[in-house]
Structure formats: structure tokens, C-alpha cells
């Protein structure tokens, strides 16, 4: 894909030198890409907090016909909280681990997202990007598994891979991030702490919001911005890891460079979205190294463009792009990357 067109047919990814490793690519990046700057990090927290506050002020103060714009702005600004916590999870926000954990928990509390469970599961995604049966982010179902589902299971999966893609993050949040029993050792203790902290916060904040503002306050001040946040979470994750020519590979065939450099997508969004979400869309260098802070991603991306140019996966966010993905990228196919539901049921 290019920044101005949408690929309509599966294409082969660039051939990758089997001797090329991620450290070779990392050595081509400027050293400044990996340098933490506490001023930039904390300035982003301050500006993001002001934007969230401005959004809530707008929800409270604006006339009813402007509320959708206020919900969209506030939910997008809340997504910025997640992106900053995302850096905390990768330890690229601050030098001290305890500070990353403190800031990460604090920023995710308004989103009701447990920090440690997300951090641990997300790191699995980074280590095994596009590895079949291992990557835990938006991996397409294999036809055999899809066929084994009951009617409701198939219907639900069709929705999440189709026009209801924007709700998929909610299911991921609800089913994966509060079950500390699936973790072991110290990780289980950390995940339990994060989950119970979120549940305690929700148990206090949501009833208090209901008592003080009624059902409309709960709907307008919490639910709608929270839904916008999950729209962006779902969209970012889907777009940055899904295209008709991006293949998931079995472990025996998986190549780290092909997956991280050529199998992740840079997508250009409206600039206000990129500003509020701290350039989360500059995604390829983030998969080359999670140690790159968000404010250095564009520098790293420019360096990768100079090295690899048009071989990188790029696109522009649009309804045409989402239509393409949700029409075609449904089930895993070993030869043509994806098979649509229509093609599967026609066989």
C-alpha cells in the first residue's frame, strides 16, 4: 500500500535476506531515537491532561448538538493517556521502573484498563508479531477453528472482523485483562493488583458519577468517551497489523525481520488525531524497538524510509481502507494471506 492508494489484490512482501536480523536494522537508526527526554515526556502528560479536561468541560458546557464532537475529542484525548501508558509499559517513558508503573497505572485508571495484564500480554505480541497461533493481537481465525464454532460464535467473529470492528477492543479488554489466574508467579501478583485496583476505582467512581449526575451524566461523561477510546484502540490495532498482503506465518516459517519491518503498517491519520494520540500511528519503528519513546518515532521512521523506502507498508486512514480490511481480511489462508467469509462459504 502507499499513502494515497489502497491495495486491492494480495501482493508478496519484499523478500528478506535470511541473514538480516533486527540488531542490523537497529544499528542503522540514529542513536538519538533511543534517548529519553523527561521534559518531552512530562510535557505530553500535562498537555494531554489539559486536553482531557477541556473535553470534559465541553461535554458539561456545550449545547446538545455539539456533544458528539465533544465526545469524539474527549475519547481521542483519553486514547492519548493510553499511548503514554503504553510507553510506560515498554519502559520508554521514564528511566525508573517504579515510575513507569506508577504513571502507567494512573493514566489507565480513567480507562478502567489494568496496567500489568496489558503490559505483559502486549509484550507477547511484540515478541511474536504475526506468528500464527502465538501473536495475541488481531490474529485471524483459521478456517477449521471458525467452522467448529457455533452459530453465535461465528456471528460474533464475523461482526468483529466486519463492520463492528470498533467494538473488538472491548471484548479483548473484558476477556483477557482481568483473569490473573492465567498468569504465573510474580506476574500473577502484579496482574491481580492492577485488576483489583481498576475494579476498586470503577466501584467508587461510576456509582459516584451516577449519584451526582444521574444516568445522563454516566452516559455522557463516561460511556461515550470510553466508547470513542475503544474505537481508536480497535482501529489502531487492526489497521497497524492487517492488510491483504500481510501474512501470519507458522513458527517454523516465521522471520522476525519480515514480521516487524515489513509486516506492520504505518498509517497516516488526520493530524489532530496523531497529535492527541502521540504518533501511535508511526508504528513500524515501534516494532523495530519498543525502547524508542513516542516523541522519537518520526525520526526513526524517516531513517527507515531512507533505508527501505517503498518496501514499507504505508496507508492513509479512510473509509475505503476500513472497507477493504473488513471486506477481505477475515480468515487465515496459507497462500493468499486472508480469505473472506464470502470466499470461505462459497468453497
Tens of pLDDT, residue by residue over 202-246, are 999 999 999 999 999 999 999 999 999 999 999 999 999 999 999
Give the rounded percent of residues in the chain with a pLDDT score beyond 90.
89
Q: By CB neighbour count within 10 A (0-12 exposed, 13-18 middle, 19+ buried), where does 176 fall?
A: middle
- Indicate the domain borders of the chain: 22-346
Query: Contact at 8 Å (CB) between 287 and 129?
Result: yes
For 318-346, the pLDDT digits (tens) are 999 999 999 999 999 999 999 999 999 88
For 95-127, the pLDDT digits (tens) are 999 999 999 999 999 999 999 999 999 999 999
Mean pLDDT of the chain: 92
Distance CA 278, CA 94 (A): 16
Other C-beta atoms lying within 10 Å of the C-beta of residue 283: 21
The predicted pLDDT at position 18 comes to 58
Q: Is the dihedral of CA 178, 124, 276, 104 positive or negative?
A: positive
The predicted pLDDT at position 17 comes to 52
The predicted pLDDT at position 6 comes to 39
Which backbone phi and psi does 314 adopt, to 5 degrees?
Answer: -135, 155
How wide is the angle at C-alpha 340 spanned by C-alphas 337 and 344, nearest 5°? Answer: 105
Could you tell me which of 230, 330, 302, 316 has the C-alpha nearest to residue 274? 316
For 273-318, the pLDDT digits (tens) are 999 999 999 999 999 999 999 999 999 999 999 999 888 999 999 9
Could you tell me which of 187, 200, 315, 343 has the C-alpha nearest to residue 246? 315
Task: Determine how β-strand 265-268 pairs with β-strand 313-316.
Answer: parallel
Whether this prediction's pTM lies above 0.85 is answered by: yes
Amino acid at each position: 500500500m502507499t499513502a494515497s492508494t489502497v491495495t486491492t489484490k494480495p501482493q508478496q512482501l519484499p523478500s528478506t535476506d535470511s541473514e538480516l536480523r533486527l540488531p542490523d536494522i537497529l544499528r542503522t537508526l540514529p542513536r538519538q531515537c533511543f534517548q529519553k527526554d523527561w521534559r518531552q515526556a512530562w510535557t505530553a502528560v500535562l498537555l494531554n491532561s489539559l486536553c482531557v479536561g477541556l473535553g470534559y468541560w465541553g461535554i458539561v458546557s456545550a449545547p446538545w448538538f455539539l456533544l458528539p464532537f465533544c465526545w469524539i475529542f474527549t475519547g481521542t484525548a483519553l486514547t492519548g493517556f493510553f499511548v503514554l501508558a503504553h510507553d510506560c509499559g515498554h519502559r520508554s517513558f521514564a528511566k525508573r521502573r517504579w515510575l513507569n508503573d506508577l504513571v502507567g497505572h494512573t493514566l489507565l485508571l480513567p480507562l478502567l484498563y489494568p496496567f500489568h495484564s496489558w503490559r505483559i500480554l502486549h509484550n507477547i505480541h511484540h515478541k511474536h508479531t504475526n506468528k500464527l497461533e502465538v501473536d495475541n493481537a488481531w490474529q485471524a481465525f483459521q478456517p477449521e477453528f471458525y467452522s467448529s464454532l457455533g452459530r453465535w460464535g461465528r456471528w460474533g467473529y464475523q461482526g468483529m472482523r466486519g463492520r463492528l470492528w470498533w467494538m473488538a477492543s472491548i471484548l479483548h479488554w473484558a476477556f483477557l485483562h482481568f483473569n490473573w489466574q492465567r498468569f504465573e508467579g510474580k506476574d500473577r501478583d502484579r496482574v491481580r493488583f492492577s485488576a483489583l485496583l481498576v475494579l476498586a476505582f470503577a466501584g467508587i467512581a461510576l456509582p459516584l458519577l451516577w449519584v451526582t449526575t444521574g444516568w445522563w451524566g454516566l452516559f455522557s461523561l463516561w460511556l461515550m468517551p470510553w466508547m470513542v477510546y475503544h474505537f481508536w484502540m480497535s482501529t489502531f490495532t487492526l489497521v497497524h497489523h492487517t492488510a491483504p498482503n500481510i501474512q501470519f506465518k507458522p513458527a517454523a516459517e516465521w522471520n522476525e525481520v519480515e514480521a516487524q519491518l515489513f509486516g506492520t503498517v504505518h498509517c497516516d491519520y488526520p493530524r489532530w488525531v496523531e497529535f492527541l494520540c502521540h504518533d501511535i500511528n508511526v508504528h513500524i519503528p515501534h516494532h523495530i524497538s519498543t525502547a524508542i519513546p513516542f516523541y522519537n518515532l518520526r525520526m526513526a521512521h524517516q531513517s527507515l524510509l531512507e533505508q527501505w523506502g517503498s518496501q514499507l507498508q504505508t496507508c492513509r486512514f479512510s473509509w475505503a481502507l476500513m472497507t477493504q480490511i473488513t471486506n477481505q481480511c477475515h480468515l487465515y489462508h496459507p497462500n493468499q494471506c486472508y480469505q473472506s467469509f464470502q470466499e470461505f462459504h462459497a468453497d
